[in-house]
A and B are shown apart, each in its own frame.
Chain A
C-alpha cells in the first residue's frame, strides 16, 4: 500500500466573523447549520471532513450545488484557511508552511483546474499554460517548450499564440488542464472542470482525461455534481451533503451499498452494467463439491454484469464465477436479473 498523498483530517470551515465561537458552539451544544447561521451569522461550508487520497488515485467528491465542494478542495492548496483541522500534502503540513514554502508547493506540486476556467484574458494560450513556470522564474525558452508539450497533450498545439477569448468552452477547459499540468505537479485539483460543457464534449474530455491520467498517473482530487462522471472517473467517491461526507467508497460500493436514503436516491438511475462485478451478484459456493455441476460457462469474479449478460445470451443454465482458476460462486438467471435491478 502506498502512503496517502493528500490527507485531510477533521476539516471545518465556517465563514463569518465569529467562526471560532460558532465552531465551539457546534461542538459543545450541537447546534445545527441553520442555528449557527441564525445565532452567529456564520455559514458552515465544510463540517468535520476527513479523507485521504493515495498516490495515483482519482478521488471524486460529488455533491449538489452549495454542499461545500469548492471550499473543501481549496483547503488542499490553502486558498482557503480551515477554521479547524489539518491538511497534509505530500508529507507536509500545509497549515504550517511559510509563505514562500506555500508558493513553492503551489507552483511545483499542486496544479489546479477551476470551475470557471479562470484563464488570464490578457495572455496568450501558451503564456497561460506556462504561468506556474513563469511565476517560478523559469526562462522563456524552456517555458515555451513546456507549454508546447502540454498543449500537445490536450490536443491544442496549434493554438498557443491565440487568446482565451478565441477559444470555445471545451478548448478553454483543456487549456486549464494543460496549465495545471505544466509544472508536472504530483497532485491535480479539479473543481468541476467539465460541468460547463455540453454532454458530448464532456464525455470526450472525460475519456481524454482518463487516458491521460493513466499515462501521467497523477493523484487527483476531482469535484463534480454529476454522479455518472464520478463513477466513470473515480477510484473512490465521496458523497458530500451540507458540508459533510455522507459516504466514501469505491463506485461499486456506492452503487450497491448506499449508506442512506440520500445516496440511494442518487444511485437509482445509475446503470449497473459496467460497474457491478460478478462477485457481487453471485451465490458463493461454500465447498468445492458443487464444482462437479459446472457446465463450461464461466466468468471472472472481476467481470462486470454486462459481460455476464453477454455470456448468458449464449448459454442456458447457471454461470460459474472463477477466481484464480477456482470456482467461487454461481450466477443463475434470477441472480442476474436481481443484480441488474439492484
Chain B
C-alpha cells in the first residue's frame, strides 16, 4: 500500500518549499529590516497627516466639501444622495471610524497612483517590462491577501501603515493595467500626427497620450479604490483601525449590530468614492467644460450679475 514507487511518487520525498520560504523570509527580516523600515517612512508621513486632518475637520465641513465636489462633477441629485448617506453614517455613530478608514484608503490610493501611473507609462515604452510586470500583477491581485499578511507583518510590523502597504500591494494592479491600456489605445494616427509635427517623446506623452488616456486611467483609479475598500476588513487583522476593526470585533464577539454598522460604513464609503471617481472618469470634450455648470457656474453667474449692477450704479451716479 505505502512506500515509494512508480505508482506512489509523492511518498518518495517532498520539496521543502514551506521551510525555504520561512527561512528566506527570516533571513530577509534579519538582514534588511532597516531597509523595510525606511520604505515605511513615506507611507507613515502621508497617513499620519491625512488621518490628523480627516479626524479633526468638523463633520459638517466634510459633508459640505463632498456635496460641492459631487455637484460640480456630477449633478445636484447625486450630491443630495451622498449628503444623505454621510448624514446616515454620522447618525449611526461611525463617523470617526469612517474618517480613519477613509484616510487609510486615500493613502493607499495616493501611493497606488504614484507607483502605478509611472509604471504603466514605462510599460508602454518597453514590452519587456510589461512582460515581466504582467505575471507579477496577476499574482498580487489573485494570491489571497491572507497569505502575504504574514510577511508584511514580519517586515513592517502591525498597525495602520502596514495595513496601507498590504492594501497597495493588493490594489495597485488596475492603475498600472489601465494606464498601459489607455495609452496603448491612443490611435496610431494621433501618435503619427504628433511625431509628424515634431513632437518629442515627452510632448507626445503629455500633450496627447495622457489626456486621451485619462478616462481609462480614472477607471483604473476607481477599480483601485474599490479593491482597497475590499481590503479594509482583512487588513484589520493586523491591527488596522477604523470600520474594518468594528466588523472584525463584531465577528469576534458575535455582535451582529456592531458588525452591521461597520459594514454599512464601508458600503457608504464605497458608494461615495465610486460615484465621485466615476464622474471624474467621464470623458470630457474640453478641459474647461467641467466649470460650465454646477456651483462654479452659479458662482460665476452671481459675480457677473453683481458686476454690471455696480457699473450701472456708477453710470446712474454720473447722471
Contacts and interface: CB of A to CB of B under 8 A. Distances in A.
B196 A79 contact: yes
A165 B197 contact: no
Contacts of B286: 124, 163
B169 interface: no
Nearest to B199: A135
A136 B195 contact: no
A135 B196 CA distance: 11
Interface in A122-138: 122, 124, 131-132, 134-136
Nearest to B191: A118
Interface string A152-178: 000000000001010000000000000
A116 B190 CA distance: 10
19 contacts: A77-B196, A79-B192, A103-B200, A106-B195, A107-B197, A107-B198, A112-B197, A114-B189, A114-B192, A119-B193, A120-B194, A121-B212, A122-B208, A122-B212, A122-B285, A124-B286, A131-B193, A131-B194, A136-B198
Given A108-B198, A122-B208, A132-B198, 17 more contacts: A103-B199, A103-B200, A104-B198, A106-B195, A106-B196, A106-B197, A112-B193, A112-B196, A112-B197, A114-B193, A114-B196, A116-B189, A118-B190, A132-B197, A135-B194, A135-B197, A135-B203
B59 interface: no
Interface in B161-205: 189-190, 192-200, 203
Contacts, number: 58
A87 to B, nearest CB: 15
Nearest to A161: B286
Interface bracket on B: 10 to 19
Interface of B: 189-190, 192-200, 203, 207-208, 211-212, 285-286
B97 to A, nearest CB: 41
A118 B193 contact: yes
Contacts of A103: 198-200
B195 to A, nearest CB: 6
A105 B198 CA distance: 8
B193 to A, nearest CB: 4
A334 to B, nearest CB: 53
Contacts of B199: 103, 135
A136 B199 CA distance: 8
A179 B77 CA distance: 43
Contacts of A107: 197-198
A79 B197 contact: no
A105 B197 CA distance: 9
Contacts of A108: 198
A122 B203 CA distance: 15
A251 B218 CA distance: 55
A134 B200 CA distance: 12
B37 to A, nearest CB: 43
